[in-house]
């Protein structure tokens, strides 16, 4: 399966015309997948997360999340708002299964027809730069952005992403379960399902820095609304 690439070779890559961005790329790469105890279990968890995210996203995906090279995936949306929502969904589904992943959201201008069935064999400025940001393995940040012309926002959003990464990496298995499940379940319902008291649930959430974690996500959600306005991206 062929990953999306820029139209020109990297040495002669055209600059992105900020007046004509068309899409947002969402890309992900599993972290340390080669160290997985069971490749079959990892593969199954990865596929479940991608399939569920595509089902939930529905028509907000211009080109659906597509696994390209075993432990990588990519897709296209029309807005940063949609891209971030899908990224968060995939991350939650992977983390709750104990699978670590790094992501990038990057603006681009597609210069070939959209492949609405699989996210490959498309070209345009911005794709290779987004992929290069994703594959920087020296950076522990799980949340990365390629925002040409917006260096201040890119720096601030990556700082928020680094904070989210630090919180997630510090969770115990129980804290991770409670913090992520709290996205979809009420506190009362979750406590009943886990057979713990509400007091215990709130104690776990405090230890997981649940409120601060949500605040950081809200900051990113506000930022992507601004980015969509800046780049003129609409669904």
Among the listed residues 105, 102, 92, the one whose alpha carbon sits nearest the alpha carbon of residue 49 = 92
Contact 123, 163 (CB under 8 A): no
| Averaged pLDDT of the chain | 89
Extended strands (E) in the chain? 23-30, 61-67, 72-77, 101-108, 143-146
Work out the burial of residue 233: count CB atoms within 10 Å of its CB; fewer than 13 is exposed, 13-18 middle, 19 or more buried: buried
Among the listed residues 121, 94, 119, the one whose alpha carbon sits nearest the alpha carbon of residue 32 = 94
Q: What is the pLDDT of residue 120?
A: 87
Indicate whether 122 belongs to any domain.
yes
- Left if phi > 0, otherwise alpha if psi is -120 to 50, otherwise beta: which for 73? beta
| Sheet-wide strand order for 23-30 | 61-67, 72-77, 23-30, 101-108, 143-146
For the segment 20-35, the average pLDDT, to the nearest whole number, is 85
Of 38-42, 72-76, 96-100, the poorest mean pLDDT is in: 38-42
Residue 115 structural domain: 10-150
Q: Is the pLDDT confidence value at 12 over 60?
A: no
Q: Is the pLDDT confidence value at 224 over 60?
A: yes
Nearest 5°: phi and psi at 67? -75, 125
Q: Is the pLDDT confidence value at 145 over 50?
A: yes
The three-state secondary structure class of 171 is coil
Q: What is the pLDDT of residue 59?
A: 87
Sign of the CA dihedral 45, 49, 55, 61?
A: negative
For the segment 154-176, the average pLDDT, to the nearest whole number, is 97
CATH number assigned to the domain comprising residue 132 = 3.30.70.1230
Q: What is the pLDDT of residue 10?
A: 33
CB neighbour list of residue 134: distance below 8 Å, 6 or more residues apart: 27, 28, 29, 102, 103, 104, 144
Q: Is the pLDDT confidence value at 32 over 80?
A: no
Q: What is the pLDDT of residue 2?
A: 45
For the segment 138-153, the average pLDDT, to the nearest whole number, is 94
Contact 176, 95 (CB under 8 A): yes
Structure tokens at 30: 């599993």
183: confidence class by pLDDT, cuts 50, 70, 90: confident
Q: What is the pLDDT of residue 84?
A: 98
How far CA 42 is from CA of 67, 98, 169, 182, in Å, comes to 13, 9, 18, 24
For the segment 126-135, the average pLDDT, to the nearest whole number, is 92
Sign of the CA dihedral 154, 160, 161, 162?
A: positive
CA distance 44 to 77: 25
Q: Are strands 143-146 and 101-108 parallel, antiparallel or unpaired?
A: parallel
CA distance 45 to 48: 5
Q: What is the pLDDT of residue 70?
A: 75
Q: Is the pLDDT confidence value at 18 over 70?
A: no
Indicate whether 182 belongs to any domain.
no
Percentage of residues of the chain with pLDDT beyond 90: 72
Q: Is the pLDDT confidence value at 7 over 60?
A: no
Indicate whether 95 belongs to any domain.
yes
CA distance 150 to 134: 18
Domain count, the chain: 1
Q: What is the pLDDT of residue 71?
A: 86
Q: Is the pLDDT confidence value at 4 over 80?
A: no
Indicate whether 3 belongs to any domain.
no
Indicate whether 21 belongs to any domain.
yes
CA distance 83 to 47: 19
């Amino acid at each position: 399966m062929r990953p999306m690439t820029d139209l020109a070779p990297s040495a002669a890559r055209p600059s992105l015309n900020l007046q004509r961005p068309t899409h947002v790329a969402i890309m992900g790469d599993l972290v340390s997948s080669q160290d997985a105890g069971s490749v079959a279990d990892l593969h199954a968890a990865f596929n479940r997360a991608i399939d569920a995210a595509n089902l939930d996203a529905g028509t907000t995906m211009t080109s659906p999340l597509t696994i390209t090279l075993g432990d990588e995936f990519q897709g296209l949306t029309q807005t940063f708002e949609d891209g971030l929502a899908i990224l968060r969904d995939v991350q939650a589904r992977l983390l709750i299964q104990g699978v670590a992943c790094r992501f990038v959201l990057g603006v681009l201008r597609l210069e070939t027809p959209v492949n609405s069935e699989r996210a490959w064999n498309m070209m345009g400025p911005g794709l290779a730069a987004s992929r290069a940001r994703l594959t920087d393995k020296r950076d522990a940040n799980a949340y990365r952005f390629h925002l040409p012309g917006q260096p201040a926002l890119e720096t601030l959003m990556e700082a928020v992403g680094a904070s989210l990464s630090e919180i997630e990496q510090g969770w115990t298995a129980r804290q991770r379960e409670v913090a992520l499940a709290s996205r979809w379940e009420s506190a009362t319902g979750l406590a009943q399902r886990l057979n713990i008291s509400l007091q215990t649930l709130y104690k776990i959430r405090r230890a997981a820095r649940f409120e601060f974690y949500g605040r950081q996500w809200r900051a990113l959600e506000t930022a992507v609304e601004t980015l969509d306005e800046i780049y003129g991206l609409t669904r």
